[in-house]
Structure 1
Amino acid sequence: MSTSEEHPAKKQRMDSSSKVIGTHNGTFHCDEALAVFLLKRTTAYAEAGLKRTRDPAILDTCDIVVDVGGKYDETTQRFDHHQRGFSEIFGHGFETKLSSAGLVYKHFGKEIIANRLQTHQDDPKIETLWLKLYREFIEAIDAIDNGISQYSTDLQPKYRIRTDVSARVGYFNPAWNEPADAQTVDAKFLQASTMVGTEFLDRLDYYAKAWLPARDLVVDALEKRKRVDQQGRILLFEQFAPWKEHLFELEASLGIPEAEKPLYVLYPDETGGNWRIQAVPVAPESFESRKALPEQWRGVRDDELSKLSGVEGCIFVHASGFIGGNKTKDGALRLANLALDM
């Protein structure tokens, strides 16, 4: 075939020096909206154009294709998940079938995170953030797009949640009775892609700038815990930081024996004026404690609690025994040491 007889899209592609991302046209979903946004945060596709179509001949001219085409092949940069027999998962303990968002994130996520943080992909925190963002942000998008129920039973929810990011992307599509040409839908797609992509970057920034530094504080407290208690049963933080999730993950990764796992955590409250003693729960989301504060202290406050415990400066102990307060670090530490033996 002569050049003049070639498919117009192919001729246009050959004349262009920029790369092109391909995805399907028409109604769009959260997974390809995010996939396109993520690709634009890679070095290879930062300046790429976008082609929304289902025409195989046009898709063949694209450098990378997501959510359409019936093929998953990293070597040819084809990332669809709709074909029969597709069963790709993220791995690392995750078993949810991937959508186009998960596929792109699996292959490009570390680069995207490293680019955002202006560091190298071999930086140890990249792996941690890559797994964290999949668990907290990407996996639900994969599951919703693939029609995977959140629960394995037939229980009916007591209320509906339609404010998740996948639903919000869907609302950008024109209504069924709203006239909309291809150009209008493409513009709506870009708005949706920007919305979900911005949320992804906001979440990444939070995990990198707040969640990860808290992990460092927990690591430090674990390393020093036997200076506070010889058996390592008390963690002491000199500043408040979210610690629960990190503690359970680090206990597992470090192989801390059951007898040496912390029972109480001490930290200054958010005002910095008083101190808290908190019992470590049996699991991150549990209300049951490994060792709740003594029953006789529960629900007692101020001077009455100080007299009962023999520790000055007491403020309260919660009725369930999961947390208490004292005006000083030394007071909180004395309560913890007493509680260990009660």
Structure 2
Amino acid sequence: MTITHLVTHSGGFHADELLSSVILTRLFPTAQLVRSRDAAWIAPADGRIIYDVGGQFDAEAGIFDHHQKPNPLREDGQPFSSFGLIWARYGRDYLRALAVPEHDIGAVHASFDRDFVLPIDLMDNGAVNPSEAGPLFAGLTLPALLETLKPVFDDPDEDADDRAFAAALPIAAAFVEAAIRREAAKLRAQGIVAAAIEAAGQDRVLELPMGMPFRAGIEAAGADHLLFVVHPRGTDWALTTIRTGENTFEARADLPAAWAGLTDKALEAASGVKGAKFCHNGRFIAVACTRDAIMQMARLAVEDVSAG
């Protein structure tokens, strides 16, 4: 069936129907986006997808509302918003439209649902405070940021809400697509990290061909013996620690205390490594001019941990 109309409610908007529109307008670019509460528009019909309005949830009939009682719930009992309902039905097709590899579709769909969609669902339903919704939504929340794009209360233009919604749509799309690119990149990185771990054997230092997210790959491989990671960084090389968790700065091991905050000649003198350039005062990253220099620093850092 050809989708000819995408229908959501008129008036002020929220993150859930705005983000739903991101998904649907990508998948059905020729469909007309209609914002209305008219009964004739919000009733199921051929060629029509209705969301965040209509008082029903029936995916086969193309209607995805969550305001009715009983409201649609996830398997674990947490509530859906229209965004969660649309993502559950169309998210995999959206990922294919963004050229996510087929073998990664399931994993990216699940991780994006957990980290991005679910917090939107919970906040839209008043089921969680923004401060509890996860790192993506701490402080200024994404829903709050998107709602700042709504017109001011005394805008005299009767089309102000529709104009604001249209202007907000590409901004919301940029957030969604950037988050999905990051999720897909994490999976690509895990493959590279796994290969590097195999090549490293029982070495305490992991060498990667470029900077990338590596902690998840290290944990997935069960490589508990690793202490540090090295990789090229522009024309230099970097030596970094491995954090023990997603939301902490605690590392498996810190760089030597004697290096903290030093640069250039001072760091060369403290480390004994020619070409050492910088060590952060927090002792989680150091930089050197060459691979040989950074590998020397890595070995010294391992020895420092062993001696401590």
**Normalised by the shorter chain, which TM-score bucket?**
0.7 to 0.9
Contact 1:165 1:196 in 2 (8 A): no
> C-alpha distance in 2, partners of 1:306/1:173?
55
Q: Give 1:308 deviation, angstroms.
A: 4.7
Pair 1:287-2:249 in alignment: yes
Please, what TM-score do these two structures have when normalized by structure 2?
0.79
Moved more, 211-220 or 22-31: 211-220
Between Structure 1 and Structure 2, whose CA radius of gyration is higher? 1
Give the one of 48, 56, 66 matched to 2:31: 48
Q: Which residue of 2 aligns with 1:221?
A: 196
Give structure 1 stretches of 5+ with no counterpart: 1-16, 154-158
Q: In structure 2, the residue corresponding to 1:336 is in which secondary structure?
A: helix
Note closer, same or farther for the CA distance 1:66–1:326 as it changes in structure 2 (3 Å cut): same
Q: In structure 2, the residue corresponding to 1:50 is in which secondary structure?
A: strand
> C-alpha distance in 2, partners of 1:312/1:175?
60
> C-alpha distance in 1, partners of 2:203/2:168?
49
Q: Give 1:205 deviation, angstroms.
A: 4.9
Contact 1:219 1:250 in 2 (8 A): yes
- Deviation per residue, 1:237-278 (Å, 9 max, x gap): 233x232xxx33223433x153x3x210112233x1x32221
Q: Which residue of 2 aligns with 1:251?
A: 218
Q: Which residue of 2 aligns with 1:237?
A: 208
> C-alpha distance in 2, partners of 1:252/1:90?
28
Note closer, same or farther for the CA distance 1:327–1:103 as it changes in structure 2 (3 Å cut): same
Q: In structure 1, the residue corresponding to 2:212 is in which secondary structure?
A: coil
- Deviation per residue, 1:259-303 (Å, 9 max, x gap): x3x210112233x1x322212122234222211123344345545
Q: Which residue of 2 aligns with 1:68?
A: 53
CA RMSD of aligned residues (A): 3.3
Contact 2:194 2:218 in 1 (8 A): no
Note closer, same or farther for the CA distance 1:325–1:199 as it changes in structure 2 (3 Å cut): closer
Pair 1:116-2:87 in alignment: no
> C-alpha distance in 2, partners of 1:89/1:232?
44
Matches within 5 A, 1:1-342: 19-42=4-27, 45-62=28-45, 63-86=48-71, 88-89=73-74, 97-117=79-99, 123-135=102-114, 137-147=116-126, 148-151=128-131, 161=140, 164-181=141-158, 185-205=161-181, 208=184, 213-226=188-201, 231-239=202-210, 241-243=211-213, 247-254=214-221, 256=222, 258=224, 260=225, 262-270=226-234, 272=235, 274-303=236-265, 305-342=267-304
> C-alpha distance in 1, partners of 2:274/2:293?
7
> C-alpha distance in 2, partners of 1:150/1:203?
18
Q: In structure 2, the residue corresponding to 1:341 is in which secondary structure?
A: helix
Note closer, same or farther for the CA distance 1:136–1:101 as it changes in structure 2 (3 Å cut): same
Give structure 2 stretches of 5+ with no counterpart: none
Contact 1:67 1:100 in 2 (8 A): yes
> C-alpha distance in 2, partners of 1:151/1:105?
23
Note closer, same or farther for the CA distance 1:28–1:327 as it changes in structure 2 (3 Å cut): closer
Q: Which residue of 2 aligns with 1:11?
A: none
> C-alpha distance in 1, partners of 2:200/2:294?
15
Q: Give 1:188 deviation, angstroms.
A: 3.6
Contact 2:51 2:64 in 1 (8 A): yes
> C-alpha distance in 2, partners of 1:109/1:128?
12
Q: Which residue of 2 aligns with 1:14?
A: none
Q: In structure 1, the residue corresponding to 2:94 is in which secondary structure?
A: helix
> C-alpha distance in 1, partners of 2:11/2:270?
70
Contact 1:87 1:97 in 2 (8 A): yes
Moved more, 192-201 or 71-80: 192-201
